[in-house]
Amino acid sequence: MRRSALLALLLCATFGLGGSARAITGAKAELVKLADGVYAFIGKRNDANAMVIVTTQGVVLVDTGNNPPETRILQKLVQSVTSQPVRYIVVSQNHGDHVGGIPLFSPPANVIAHERVFKEWEAWKPFQVKAWRKRFAERSVALTQVSPADTVLTFHDHMTLHLGGKTIELIYVDDRYNPGDVAVWLPDSGVLHAAFVGYITRHPDIRPDHSHGTTSGMLKQLEALIALKPKIVVPAHGPLGDVTDLQALTDYLLAARQKVRTMMSRGLPLAEIEQQFNMSEYQGWDRDSHFPWMAETVYRELNGEGPQIVQAVEQTVKATISKLAEEGRFLTVTAETGAEVRLRISTDTDFEGVADRTGLRVGMKATALYQVPQGANAALGYDVEELDVEP
């Protein structure tokens, strides 16, 4: 039996490829060997994945884990398979759950990112830089005078990295609203890290401001990646897949667009479209909270409206943490007036009183500075800039 066929059978047995939607990933992150010197870091419960490429001249990481504890687990797993240092970190998408662990490795590691990501990092606000420098307590002194963009190497549309006998291709599919998502292709082993369009068993997080791209842009990316015919696909979130999963997401996006198009042809207003839109045929997929955003994004695309321009107003609340979800990523706080405020912790949140969001507990008293978007739906909660937790 050919090696490629044997590998496919092993993956089918382990991950259930080719069948119905697989289960959400397990309760613990794990490192799975995909090829010689190539590993997938599979985040727990569909958290962010990463890819580890070990060469004789150093390690290349693709993304860095979902939060500081997970990044430390990633670091230990890398150290368990090689003594080589992390030399490069490739940014597959500029979202906190994929880039938040960078300051654990860089410097001395260099970051490779699309030029759009570099420009965004150069424009970071002081609270974002402060949060980046103190994200890992053991690195805070080393990063005192370092800014996030200091170690970044950029490219425009394609970059090939030859390192320690491995060929690593970075692919950016040009699109007006591609915010810098980059796929990583290993032609020698047929392994692809599909970046943002590698959703498996998870509803895509597509937003009206186009900060996460658009369905039309994603379809363009998927077409380019499907043409590579990858044997193994490492998705942004969820279990490992193959080229059929890229096609499945293509079908998903086309169906979502058709649903919105049909409702628009019936003259339904946006509010009603958001209320009625669902992808219920994809049973078992997580993150159905993304539906309202997805519906509005598609609506804007089909109307040719362009991205939603959102102005945010800062507000402050002194309150008690009353609810927590996903290790502190989402929390509800109750003010002294009894009013509840839903908040969302991001990688940029500057903490005082706890090291990171995993240290938050129900009953803690906190002061939050957060952003309230004007005229927009904060479906997942208001983004927190600063969170001061009382000891």
Which CATH number do you get for residue 92?
3.60.15.10
Q: Give the pLDDT confidence score for residue 80 in this predicted structure.
A: 98
Each residue's pLDDT tens digit, 223-259: 999 999 999 999 999 999 999 999 999 999 999 999 9
Half-sphere exposure of 6 (CA within 13 A, CB side): 4
Mean pLDDT of 200-218: 92
Q: Give the pLDDT confidence score for residue 15 in this predicted structure.
A: 36
Assess if residue 26 is contained within a domain. Answer: yes
Distance CA 89, CA 96 (A): 14
- Angstrom CA distances, 216 to 163, 178, 302, 327, stand at 34, 10, 10, 33
Does one domain contain both 148 and 44? yes
**Helix and strand totals (H; E) in the chain:** 9, 18
Does one domain contain both 220 and 329? no
Q: Read off the pLDDT band of 199 (50, 70, 90).
A: confident
Examine the pLDDT at 277 and tell me if it is beyond 70: yes
Q: Give the pLDDT confidence score for residue 20 in this predicted structure.
A: 39
* Six token digits for residue 266: 């019936």
Strands 232-234 and 191-193: parallel
Does one domain contain both 136 and 44? yes
User: Where do runs of H (alpha helix) occur along the chain?
Assistant: 3-15, 68-81, 96-99, 115-122, 126-133, 215-226, 243-265, 270-276, 291-303
Distance CA 332, CA 319 (A): 9
Examine the pLDDT at 22 and tell me if it is beyond 60: no
Each residue's pLDDT tens digit, 137-191: 999 999 999 999 999 999 999 999 999 999 999 999 999 999 999 999 999 999 9
Does one domain contain both 53 and 159? yes
Q: Give the pLDDT confidence score for residue 310 in this predicted structure.
A: 86
CB atoms within 10 A of CB 98: 25
Assess if residue 241 is contained within a domain. Answer: yes
Mean pLDDT of 19-41: 84
Distance between terminal CA atoms of the chain?
61
As a residue count, the chain comes to: 391
Does one domain contain both 244 and 321? no
Q: What are the contacts of 243-250 at 24+ separation with CB within 8 A?
A: 244/17, 244/18, 245/17, 245/198, 245/200, 246/194, 246/197, 246/198, 246/222, 247/222, 249/197, 249/198, 249/199, 249/200, 249/204, 249/218, 249/222, 250/219, 250/222, 250/223, 250/226
In the 8-state DSSP scheme, what is residue 212? T
Rounded to two decimals, the pTM is: 0.89
Does one domain contain both 148 and 236? yes
Q: Give the pLDDT confidence score for residue 172 in this predicted structure.
A: 97
Assess if residue 271 is contained within a domain. Answer: no
Cβ(110)–Cβ(151) below 8 Å: yes
Assess if residue 174 is contained within a domain. Answer: yes
Chosen domain end from 226, 251, 276: 251
Mean pLDDT of 314-329: 95
Each residue's pLDDT tens digit, 106-138: 999 999 999 999 999 999 999 999 999 999 999
Assess if residue 23 is contained within a domain. Answer: yes
Assess if residue 92 is contained within a domain. Answer: yes
Does one domain contain both 212 and 349? no
Report helix, strand or coil for 84.
Answer: coil
Does one domain contain both 214 and 321? no
Q: Give the pLDDT confidence score for residue 43 in this predicted structure.
A: 93
* Six token digits for residue 40: 């997938």
Give the chain's domain count.
2
Does one domain contain both 234 and 371? no
Q: Which residues contact 9 (CB under 8 A, 6 or more apart)?
A: none
Assess if residue 294 is contained within a domain. Answer: no
In the 8-state DSSP scheme, what is residue 23? P
Chosen domain end from 231, 251, 271: 251
Q: Give the pLDDT confidence score for residue 195 in this predicted structure.
A: 95
Convert 351-378 to b/e letters by CB count within 10 Å (16 or more is b).
Answer: beebebbeebeeebebbbbbbeeeebeb
> 99 lies in which domain range?
3-251
Does one domain contain both 236 and 325? no
Q: Read off the pLDDT band of 52 (50, 70, 90).
A: very high
The enclosing domain of 342 has a CATH number of: 2.40.50.320
Q: Which residue has the tokens 């839109």?
A: 277
Cβ(99)–Cβ(347) below 8 Å: yes
Does one domain contain both 244 and 318? no
In the 8-state DSSP scheme, what is residue 237? B
Report helix, strand or coil for 101.
Answer: coil
Q: Give the pLDDT confidence score for residue 7 in this predicted structure.
A: 37
Q: Which residue has the tokens 């590579």?
A: 228
Cβ(65)–Cβ(73) below 8 Å: yes
Cβ(201)–Cβ(46) below 8 Å: yes
Does one domain contain both 201 and 342? no
Chosen domain end from 234, 251, 268: 251
Q: Read off the pLDDT band of 23 (50, 70, 90).
A: low
Assess if residue 95 is contained within a domain. Answer: yes
Q: Give the pLDDT confidence score for residue 5 in this predicted structure.
A: 37
Distance CA 197, CA 95 (A): 13
Sheet holding 30-35, edge to edge: 30-35, 38-42, 50-55, 58-62, 86-90, 110-114, 152-155
Kindly state the percentage of the chain with pLDDT values over 70. Answer: 94
Q: Give the pLDDT confidence score for residue 115 in this predicted structure.
A: 97
